[in-house]
């Protein structure tokens, strides 16, 4: 819409955002012979005064997505990558503070973990002595995530993980449920409970003045609480396990006010071996792909506001 | 939380939902020798009075996800599958009206299109005469989607498509953009514009009394508008093309009030052939994977409320 | 192995090959306003006198994979892309004839098809008149493939397709099979037969003197024979359908001597609706993911040598 | 071909095989409270006297793929799963020895590793004391593979791994290579070397009389040799690293005669930060997706026959 056409539009532009997605950056830091890796996938999303580019194609307010990509790589040099969260904070502050039309920046980051390759000859009893200095193997377990949002005043940091597959081979039951004419499920008093954990937790840090969490340490401890709560819970339903996982995090992490889970119930069906004259005493399971139960919920500190959006999957 | 423990919890349950995801159902309808296929992936998500199962593991309010799966298959027989939208409406109404604790049902469906295999000997001039009666090949282009949400009173139907890859090999420019110290991009006056369209549109039908859209026809026509607007727009920026696609839909489809797009800018970089003594006159391109621009926006009828959530990707 | 160490090695180098894989090249050809697209994924694999680089790290015989990538892009300009097969022939001949240590080149290409976006206002009765000149939508059905191998004297061209999903909703039975103590399957007299066709066919053209096939036309006709044979065969087993598909190709295509198929039996299980008081008269199916039957076989012209390797999947 | 049609066929059946692919079996073994997991993906492929089913659709010689699936699950109970190799040996022997028309069985298995979830309160100094008894997290690193082939007389066991991503952040060079008019690559004297290891190794055990390898221990040690050789090799080219990895295995594992690798060169390009006034001292890299170098070779004990097929990828 050009300045000289003030008549109302019958078709309006609503929420909009743009940026460069999935910038793969690997940062090596040298400490003598010993190297350290940060391996990130960074997605930038900017919004603000962007009506013109949609209505008329004028790019005057548009910092190219190519520039946002360049900024990711330049900042990896200028600021280093202390943590995914800290790196995202640098980026978000930069875009909002340096370009007037940009009002909000949201940085999403996936982080892939690496561990050092064990060397053959170092004595195992000196921790660290048996590790390569610059040779690594990708850990390959969960993907760490974070999302940094900044509107020029307030910060929202939502970190998390995905792809973390866990299983309890016992201590899980499912019975006493509602039923209707379409219910055929048999009650289970000892079943496998397996899921692939996706979790996002919101830190209560919102501004520059307050002391920032130690992002690296907080991640490791939160991940540990999730795993231990999963392992420790005698489960009557995946919803109960989910709540216990959230509860453990909120109770133990003062820096986190809210956590949301998306937990697929990865069904392991006991195979019927009767036709072959065999008894299946909770020994042989078929691991099914689809369909799967999908249990999603938010757990939050009393008095906190629910901010993490409901849908963490595209299904 | 049991009835006799009314003390406040320091850690609360927030929004929660559950159900069986990705039920793959194929429905064959016979019209004499001629068969028709509907091929769906149906995900059920239910919410309501579900505190107990999270706090204590009591499943008394929980209709098993296995039952929701059974219902999908039973309804495919009882109601048939006239359209993905109509099928989802049957399912959502059933869950909300038949189980007291369930207050809201959300049904998400992906639909895969099939076309008939052409027969060898039929004369091509009689439309349909040259098609198999019960042999099909999967169309393999876009995936059609819909999401039906029902809270017992009001319906929200958000349909769409994804995976639709389009390209204009000319009629696209990009210049006149903002720049800063990290900007190195050269202006482009004739470039390839390619994207993979993800779109979700909200129908303004919200209740049983109003006349329902013709879901099948509306989908076909909306898809056509999207493609033609993409083809017809001389583009100064992908944002402009996005708006024109939305505009075309809102102007032409009275039944749709809002549409949201997620458009990756699938970069096709002109390869530098100078080192080989060759001139690349917009002939040879490298199709890049990552990173990619990501342009997302809502376009809506003036006066309409924005209801489709902002994030259509997990990045 | 350096020249001065002629003693036998206890650990030998065997077959080896190297090159740049998955070069994504898009070639636009202009015919006035009308543009044409070729969209390929090209993988180069070279072998020859490469002992040194493995034994000692000397790269003197190694044309860098980066150079093979450059050659793909340069050749797209210099020779154009008439067909995937012809393009691969140009590349293979170049590598073998220009670098003495390279004895054999193998070029593998995937091709993605595009179709023109239909325009709104052109009269439908003039074929082609209703199509955009430079706006395209990716067809999204099968992926076309080819593999060109050249050892300096003889050519082997193995073309094919993959990802082509087909279904017969009737005219398929399965009974009369062998059984043992682990057999529980019920005989089927009317079932869905669905598969995702992977096929590779070998042309009998082996040298420059003989007249080359018309690669584009031969592909289209072969694809048609596959689909029609699938549709026309009343199937007692997927193996029988496979043979009929191969038979149809060999009988109709003089330029093809051998064809190999990998056909997953994509099971569609009839859902048991009896518990719900419903009869499933071949109407409602569950489309399963895993496990699946996997049927693989070669069909060849009598007297021809079997050259296509057995394993077309990695499982 | 039916008995009464002895005339020669102009179109012949060549190599063929069939079976059930991707049977997902999870086997739990209980040692008191302590549980052990084996998590496999088993694909069965059978061949033999199968002409009739292809030519006429007669299934008299065909043991249904459904039966091969049942056998996988029944054998998980009857024999347990000591190792993927041993389990495949049980299956292959059964199919060949129990069904006269079946001459050869090939069993392919993928294995997913799990580790115990660490418990919070156990003292870390007692190894194993700090581990859950029946709670697991999927390790998520490499996928272990094996292929067992049995023709009634001789066994071939080819085990391996895939998806193992490794990186050396220094100690890699690439220079002194051949060049032609399409060469633009700059020589590198300190680069990142990263790859995703796919390896298959053939054991020299071929029959029941000889002592079988300890499959579990041999796998762990071979994996260790691969990682250490990758870490220890100062690399002048990925081919040299590949050979050193193979050499290390053949020299250290008497039970292995041949190993083949498929090593994508996962390029990490140094980002040019000069335009921003910054120097990139091997600190900031762009991790590229496609194209990638692809280096493949076999390393074998002198005097051994090369048996592992050349192509480990579908590209």
**Using a CB-CB distance cutoff of 8 angstroms, which residues of chain A are in contact with residue C290?**
289
DSSP letter assigned to residue C107: E
Q: How many CB atoms lie under 10 A from the CB of residue C264?
A: 23
Residue among D184, D275, D289 whose CB faces B275 most closely? D184
**Helix or strand or coil: residue A122?**
coil
CB C218 within 8 A of CB D35: no
| Environment class of B129 (CB within 10 Å of its CB; exposed 0-12, middle 13-18, buried 19+) | exposed
CA–CA min distance B271, chain C (Å): 7
Tokens of C13: 């180098």
Whole-angstrom Cα distance, residue C231 to residue B116?
10
* Residue positions of C annotated with a catalytic role: 20, 65, 267
Whole-angstrom Cα distance, residue D53 to residue C174?
11
Q: How many CB atoms lie under 10 A from the CB of residue D293?
A: 22
* Residue positions of D annotated with a catalytic role: 20, 65, 267
CB B156 within 8 A of CB B307: yes
Question: What pLDDT score was predicted for residue D154?
Answer: 96
pLDDT higher than 80, residue C122: no
Question: What pLDDT score was predicted for residue A9?
Answer: 79
pLDDT-based confidence at residue C129 (cuts at 50, 70, 90):
low
CB D52 within 8 A of CB D101: no
A170 annotated active-site: no
Residue among D176, D250, D290 whose CB faces C59 most closely? D176
Between the alpha carbon of residue B169 and those of residues B173, B194, B264, B280, C139, the distances in Å are 11, 8, 16, 14, 16
The secondary structure element, H or E, covering residue B18 is strand B11-21
Whole-angstrom Cα distance, residue D59 to residue D49?
11
Whole-angstrom Cα distance, residue B144 to residue C286?
19
Whole-angstrom Cα distance, residue C152 to residue C95?
10
pLDDT digits (tens, 9 = 90+) for D98-110: 999 999 999 999 9
**Using a CB-CB distance cutoff of 8 angstroms, which residues of chain A are in contact with residue D286?**
24-26, 73
pLDDT digits (tens, 9 = 90+) for D5-33: 556 679 999 999 999 999 999 999 999 99
Q: ipTM of the predicted structure? A: 0.94
CB D80 within 8 A of CB D27: yes
Give the angle subtended at the CA of B78 by the CAs of B73 and B80, to the nearest 5°: 80
DSSP letter assigned to residue A235: B
- The answer to whether D35 faces chain A, any CB pair under 8 Å, is yes
Nearest Cα residue to A167 out of B64, B20, D38: D38
Nearest Cα residue to D112 out of A141, A114, A263: A141
pLDDT digits (tens, 9 = 90+) for B102-152: 999 999 999 999 999 998 654 444 555 688 999 999 999 999 999 999 999
Whole-angstrom Cα distance, residue A230 to residue B165?
41
C231–B271 C-beta distance less than 8 A: no
| Environment class of A289 (CB within 10 Å of its CB; exposed 0-12, middle 13-18, buried 19+) | middle
Nearest Cα residue to C302 out of D13, D12, D54: D12
pLDDT higher than 50, residue D1: no
Question: What pLDDT score was predicted for residue C130?
Answer: 80
Question: What pLDDT score was predicted for residue C6?
Answer: 54
**Using a CB-CB distance cutoff of 8 angstroms, which residues of chain B are in contact with residue A305?**
none
**Using a CB-CB distance cutoff of 8 angstroms, which residues of chain B are in contact with residue C81?**
none
Whole-angstrom Cα distance, residue D182 to residue D188?
18
**Helix or strand or coil: residue D212?**
coil
Task: Kindly provide the residue ranges of all beta strands, DSSP E only, lying in D77-113, ordered along the sequence.
Answer: 102-111
- The answer to whether C15 faces chain A, any CB pair under 8 Å, is no
Whole-angstrom Cα distance, residue A261 to residue A19?
27
Nearest 10 degrees: Cα torsion B234, B238, B244, B246? 160
pLDDT-based confidence at residue C312 (cuts at 50, 70, 90):
confident
pLDDT digits (tens, 9 = 90+) for D76-120: 999 999 999 999 999 999 999 999 999 999 999 999 999 999 986
Closest chain D residue by Cα to residue A70: D273
Whole-angstrom Cα distance, residue D176 to residue A69?
33
Question: What pLDDT score was predicted for residue C123?
Answer: 47
CA–CA min distance A119, chain B (Å): 34
Whole-angstrom Cα distance, residue A94 to residue A103?
11
- The answer to whether A127 faces chain C, any CB pair under 8 Å, is no
pLDDT higher than 90, residue B304: yes
Tokens of A71: 């900024």
pLDDT digits (tens, 9 = 90+) for D237-283: 999 999 999 999 999 999 999 999 999 999 999 999 999 999 999 99
Residues 6+ apart with CB under 8 A from C309: D309, D311
C22–D67 C-beta distance less than 8 A: no
Nearest Cα residue to B292 out of B199, B201, B223, B193: B193
Give the pairing of strands B131-138 and B114-118: antiparallel
**D198-221 CB burial, b ≥16 within 10 A, e <16:** bbbbbbebeeeeeebbebeebbee
Between the alpha carbon of residue D15 and those of residues D10, D19, D48, the distances in Å are 16, 14, 9
pLDDT-based confidence at residue A126 (cuts at 50, 70, 90):
low
CB B196 within 8 A of CB B165: yes
Mean residue pLDDT of chain B comes to 94
- The answer to whether C97 faces chain D, any CB pair under 8 Å, is no
Q: How many CB atoms lie under 10 A from the CB of residue A158?
A: 22
Question: What pLDDT score was predicted for residue B208?
Answer: 72
Tokens of A59: 């790019």
Whole-angstrom Cα distance, residue D81 to residue D96?
20
C40-79 residues touching D, CB cutoff 8 A? 43, 45, 50, 53-67, 69-71, 74
Q: How many CB atoms lie under 10 A from the CB of residue A151?
A: 15
Question: What pLDDT score was predicted for residue D311?
Answer: 84
Tokens of C166: 């087909």
pLDDT digits (tens, 9 = 90+) for B7-46: 567 999 999 999 999 999 999 999 999 999 999 999 999 9
Closest chain D residue by Cα to residue A169: D134
pLDDT-based confidence at residue B315 (cuts at 50, 70, 90):
low
């Amino acid at each position: 819409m050009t300045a000289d056409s003030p008549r109302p539009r019958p078709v309006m532009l609503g929420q909009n955002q743009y940026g460069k997605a999935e910038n793969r950056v690997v940062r090596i830091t040298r400490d003598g012979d010993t190297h350290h890796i940060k391996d990130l996938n960074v997605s930038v999303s900017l919004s603000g005064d962007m009506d013109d580019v949609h209505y008329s194609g004028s790019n005057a307010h548009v910092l190219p997505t190519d520039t946002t990509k360049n900024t990711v790589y330049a900042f990896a040099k200028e600021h280093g990558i202390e943590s995914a969260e800290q790196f995202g904070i640098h980026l978000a502050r930069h875009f909002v503070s340096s370009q007037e039309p940009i009002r909000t920046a949201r940085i999403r980051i996936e982080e892939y973990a690496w561990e050092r390759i064990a060397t053959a000859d170092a004595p195992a009893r000196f921790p660290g002595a048996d590790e390569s200095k610059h040779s690594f193997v990708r850990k390959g377990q969960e993907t760490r995530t974070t999302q940094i949002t900044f509107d020029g005043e307030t910060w929202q940091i939502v970190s998390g993980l995905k792809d973390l597959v866990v299983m309890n081979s016992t201590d899980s039951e499912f019975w006493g449920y509602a039923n209707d004419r379409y219910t055929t499920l048999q009650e289970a008093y000892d079943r496998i409970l397996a899921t692939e954990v996706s979790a996002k937790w919101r830190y209560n840090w919102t501004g520059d003045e307050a002391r920032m969490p130690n992002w690296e340490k907080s991640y490791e401890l939160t991940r540990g609480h999730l795993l231990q709560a999963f392992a420790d819970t005698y489960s009557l339903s995946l919803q109960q396990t989910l709540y216990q996982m959230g509860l453990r995090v909120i109770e133990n992490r003062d820096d986190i006010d809210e956590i949301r889970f998306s937990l697929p119930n990865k069904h392991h069906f006991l195979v019927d071996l009767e036709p072959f004259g065999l008894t299946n005493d909770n020994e042989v399971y078929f691991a099914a792909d689809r369909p799967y139960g999908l249990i999603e919920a938010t757990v939050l500190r009393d008095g906190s506001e629910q901010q993490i959006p409901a849908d963490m999957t595209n299904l």
